Amino acid sequence: MSLFQPITTHTAYIPGANNLGIVLTDDGGAIAIDTGLDRDTGRLVRRALDEAQRQLRAIISTHHHADHIGGNEYLVRNLPNVAVYAARLEAPLIEHPLLEPIYLSLGATPPSALRTKWLMAKGVPVQHIIDGDAIEIAGTTLEIVALPGHSIGQIGVAVDGVCFAADGFFGPEVISKHGIPYAHDVAAQLASLDRLAMRKERFFLPGHGALTPQSELDAAIRINRLAIERAMHAVRDALSEPGDTLTVARRVQRTLGLTITGLPQYAIFVAAVAAHLSHLESTGAATLIMTDEGAVWRGGS
């Protein structure tokens, strides 16, 4: 059985906990859309390319999170002339992945528990900055879909009837396992869901979850939106009494019934709660004030 699961004539993917997108170019090459968590997923991409007798022309990194760029270094080091493409705001974090655990550590040198492959991949140079709404690689034109929100400058890629949507949305089976979809910017995350809902590709591949045909996209988007709104309500309810960010996070965790056992997962959860607090502040539903006990959030109007 081929490692590549075909989607359309010029697209395929390698399914897994992280779906790895593949664009097949007319010159016998291939473009990887993300590379997964680590060198093992990098090796998997290489094995799939060898099996299909395709040469890797480029990697498009949709965003900087470690589970999407972890195979970059292996592929760049072991395959010739592989160029890396990324959006302008994502590129510095792809080149310097230590920045991810730094921002999850309030800007401090991160503790060792946050300096693992789950949050810190190996960096690679980004040769090509993606600024526009289309790029051409090996004679293939790819549409760039702006999908910020989950991360600061996340992009999707659309080609040959397929939208590789990165973490612009999650499969319903993935949403059901997580109480709060991670966000950097909640308003942008919701706007990106709206943007995806308007697209007309035949298939949509999330970074996590099943390949989604157009006929099932609206339902998937609705489930994502409901999960975000549920998280938002939980954060707002947690402001019934003032509390600092960690206190609010504890209340939200209790409300959502979440069991968090790992420090990386906890850091990501707290950051997501902080994103919702910032969103509520922007709408007037929360206020951050300074007290004798430090910075405290209070519910707004």
DSSP 253-298: HHHHT----SHHHHHHHHHHHHHHHHHHHHTTSEEEEEETTEEEEE
The string of pLDDT tens digits covering residues 254-295 is: 999 999 999 999 999 999 999 999 999 999 999 999 999 899
Q: Is 13 helix (H, G, I), strand (E, B) or coil?
A: strand
The string of pLDDT tens digits covering residues 155-195 is: 999 999 999 999 999 999 899 887 789 999 999 999 999 99
The string of pLDDT tens digits covering residues 14-61 is: 999 999 999 999 999 999 999 999 999 999 999 999 999 999 999 999
DSSP state letter for 158: E
Write the class of the CATH domain 5-167: alpha beta
Give the separation between CA 153 and CA 148, rounded to whole angstroms. Answer: 5
Which amino acid is it at 268? Answer: I
How much is the pTM?
A: 0.97
